Amino acid sequence: MANVTGGSFLLEKTGERENFIPENLSEEQKQLAGLVRDFFRGEVVPKSEEIEAQKFDVVVSLVKKAGELGILAAEMAEEHGGLGVDKVTMVAMSEQSIYQGSFGVTLMCHTGIGTWPIIYFGTPEQKKKYLPRLATG
């Protein structure tokens, strides 16, 4: 894959970079995306009214359920209790959060803002203390 920086993608010729489409996902990638889709459709969407009414206990219970399913630990390294999936897999999983935007943002903030700084910049002690708990919600 070409080294893409800033807006360089605007100047590249089409086809110079590797692209992915859902049809090219592996069975494992499709299963993980399906896990998130089924969670959102079955668990999250039915609670949309409560989520939008900012019922904190409902949101917390859904975050914990996402942790039980492994959704919160997808990008985290296996050594910290995660699944260690690649970026394409994570995108396939993340796009399934469209079924309930508010809770989708909650998950993305938890796995991004809340987790990535520790993954990338945390000390070994901080990683050991916080990442397993973040992975499980």
Residue 126 reports pLDDT greater than 80? yes
Give the pLDDT score at 16: 59
- Please state, for a pLDDT cut of 70, what percent of the chain lies above it: 91
pLDDT at 1 over 60: no
Q: What pLDDT, on the 0 to 100 scale, is given for residue 5?
A: 66
More confident residue, 31 or 20: 31
Number of H helices, E strands in the chain: 7, 0
Q: How many Å apart are CA 115 and CA 108, to the nearest integer?
A: 10
* pLDDT digit string, tens, across residues 28-83: 999 999 999 999 999 999 999 999 999 999 999 999 999 999 999 999 999 888 89
Tell me the CA distances in angstroms from 16 to 7, 54, 91, one per residue in order. 15, 45, 21
pLDDT at 2 exceeding the cut of 70? no
Task: Report in angstroms the alpha-carbon separations of 14 from 4, 75, 128.
Answer: 13, 29, 43
Measured from the Cβ of residue 101, the count of other Cβ atoms closer than 10 Å reads 12
Decide if pLDDT at 19 tops 80.
Answer: no
Name the helix (H) or strand (E) containing 27.
Answer: helix 27-39
- pLDDT for 12: 74
Q: What pTM does this model have?
A: 0.82
CA 101: distance to chain centroid? 13
Q: What does the alpha-carbon distance between residue 95 and residue 123 come to, in Å, rounded to a whole number? A: 31
What pLDDT does 8 receive? 75
Provide the mean pLDDT of the chain.
90
